[in-house]
A and B are shown apart, each in its own frame.
Chain A
Amino acid sequence: MALIEVRGVSKVFGPKPQSALPLIAEGRSKAEILAETGHSVGLREIDLDIEAGQIFVVMGLSGSGKSTLIRHLNRLIDPTAGEIRFAGDDILTYDIKALLEFRRSKMSMVFQHFALLPHRTVVDNVAYGLEIQGVGKRERRARAEEWLETVGLAGYGPSLPDELSGGMRQRVGLARALCTDADVLLMDEAFSALDPLIRSDMQDQLAALQARLRKTIVFITHDLDEALRLGDKIAILKDGALVQVGTPADILLHPADAYVESFVRDVNRVRVLTAETVMKPPRLRITTENLDEALRQVRASPHDFAYVQTADGGGYGVVTQEGLEQARRSRTSLKDLTHELPSVQPGQALEEVLPVALQSQFPLPVVDESGELQGVVTKKAVIGVVADQAEARAARAEAAEGDVEPQPSEPPAA
């Protein structure tokens, strides 16, 4: 069971929201529904599972319903239809008291424009969630100071938010959210208002914190680079509807439609994709020292070579069928027959893998931290990723030149 389950959630804004539900069910477009009924569709029939410990990214153009969706998770907005469950609990049945308790202990939130209380010092801002819960002044300040230190703002406690730079203010926002020790962190375009350099700093810091804290983070952005950098899963929204949910590699390699494609087309895939995403299952691996047995196995397999572990640490090489046949006559050992191969880590970017793969006669072994052979990366697979993108780019260039085909819609803007 996922930690957060969203089932069939629709949200309509307007005086009689229910009246637009049948039109949503008919699949009428947002524009049509607006023209016909004057109601604005925020979300349409969303199904989502958010697993504990994940960074779940929601992406989409401005107005696609990202903020509306995230506000359903702590019921700042209530759905027009559908169900939302947290740890199996239907949160829509909560009364005021249960809802306040839920917001206090389970959910915390970071905002695009920081939303700090301007009349309070930094430390009192960080302690705000605890103050709401009635934690005593001394204890909440002590805990707030700890979190300030964690986000790199030790000593700024007595300052006012106005005296801090944007990046520092959002660290305060982050510390405030972490200070209540809630299970889930909701981040609505939390880094979108920051300069690019500071933004990437914050992304690194969030990733580092997450590696330690293992929170469930729902992160909203309109920036694909950010999504790819942070997301374990990415959901893409368009006009309030979910168009695709998947891992970053899924989204890059198999965009569900032209809208998703328009997001991903300018991403340098070789830089973003890792060896893991293009790796094939491990081919034949020989563990026996017996040459006859080894030859038998290679002959029986569809390939004319096999992988052999050459060192305990995880060095791998290949032996060929030909080599084995000769060796049987000359009585050399299996080790001496083996061609050492450079190995690749699962998380290594294709950018780094590419030159090595091009030089190698054999598919490269992908070896994990414990020295296990996870799979292999073929030259063809790596080249395929590059070629796909080049082809797509060329096709677009042609289309643009000839001006025959309609341009795909613009990539997401800020």
Chain B
Amino acid sequence: MDIFMDFGPVIADAVNRAIDDLVIRHGDDFEAFSNVMLAVLVGIEGWLRSLPPPVVLAAAAAAAYAASRRLTLALGAAAGLWLIGSLGLWQQAMQTVAIMGVAVGLSMLIGLPVGVLMARSDRVRAAVLPLLDLMQTIPSFVYLIPAAMLFGLGKVPAILATVIYAAPPLIRLTDLGIRLVDAEVLEASRAFGATRMQMLFGVQLPLALPNVMQGINQTMMMALAMVVIASMIGARGLGETVLLGLQRNDSGQGALGGLAIVALAIVFDRVTQAVGVRLQSRAARRG
């Protein structure tokens, strides 16, 4: 006896129809949106690639030093980028940084307000949490397919897929950071007649900042982890290098791409961690 009902085709058909419908009805909107994002991305990418590498190295070192006040980290950051260039992957790395930058920016644009709303209302939180779980557990290919259908192959769906995958930690940590703000301090603010906005920008967000920074750090790392997968739908960059190695059965090239991704990840990780640590210890006076 067959105890199973045959849902599969029904659901699949429904999803297909919904996506088709979206494409037909809102295709233009998606294209418009896609074009805006593409313009931003191409602008950033072009700018990064046009910079002379020594300038980029110096900027990375300066940023690392500003974040940590440690010379070793500054030198390490420059060395990491130099390594990538020496592997012959400079242009690809700049493409990856551009995609990651836009994805992280978009994640913050979405993640910070959502995190704030979650911290403010238990109901919003209850509704959003399962969605975040879903975003993090669902294999990215599942949404890469419709994303590619809606936006076409290329950079934009790659960025959206990256945002879906990478935004949840920022949202969670923003919510957590705000909830962990000392209740008495918040009450003091209220007692002096602060409005909700004054409480948010004067107390909650500044005090949640170390957690928010950690969220940004994690979002960056996850975005970098997505580059290989994103390259499958046409994003250029280091992921493409790895993908090509895979397709051509060229382990050597794959290894180079992998090494470059790791180097990039370490540089970004250490620098953003250092920012977080300094915020935490509040050594940085008046931000």
Contact = CB atoms under 8 A, between A and B. Distances in A.
Q: State whether these chains interact.
A: yes
A121 B286 CA distance: 8
B285 A160 contact: yes
A128 B192 contact: yes
Given A121-B285, A132-B198, A160-B282, A116 B192 contact: no
B193 interface: yes
B193 A76 contact: no
B282 A118 contact: yes
Contacts of A111: 184, 187-188
Interface in B195-212: 195, 198, 202-203, 206-207
Contacts of B182: 115
B194 interface: yes
Given A104-B192, A104-B193, A132-B192, 11 more contacts: A76-B190, A103-B190, A108-B192, A111-B184, A115-B182, A117-B185, A117-B188, A117-B203, A118-B207, A132-B198, A160-B285
Interface in A265-322: none
Interface range on chain B (Cβ under 8 Å from partner): 20 to 34
Interface range on chain A (Cβ under 8 Å from partner): 20 to 34
Given A76-B187, A115-B185, A119-B206, A162 B192 contact: no
B184 A132 contact: no
Interface in A118-170: 118-121, 128-129, 131-133, 160, 162
A354 interface: no
Interface of A: 74, 76, 100-104, 107-109, 111-113, 115-121, 128-129, 131-133, 160, 162, 180, 186
Interface of B: 182, 184-185, 187-195, 198, 202-203, 206-207, 282, 285-287
B195 A109 contact: no
A116 B185 contact: yes
Contacts of A104: 192-193
A115 B192 contact: no
Contacts of A108: 191-192
Contacts of B282: 118-119, 160, 162
16 contacts: A100-B193, A109-B188, A111-B184, A116-B185, A117-B185, A117-B202, A118-B207, A118-B282, A119-B207, A119-B287, A121-B286, A128-B192, A129-B192, A129-B193, A132-B189, A132-B193
A33 B55 CA distance: 72
Given A112-B184, A132-B198, A103 B192 contact: yes
A45 B187 CA distance: 25
Nearest to A125: B188
B99 to A, nearest CB: 33
Nearest to A100: B193
A100 B191 contact: no
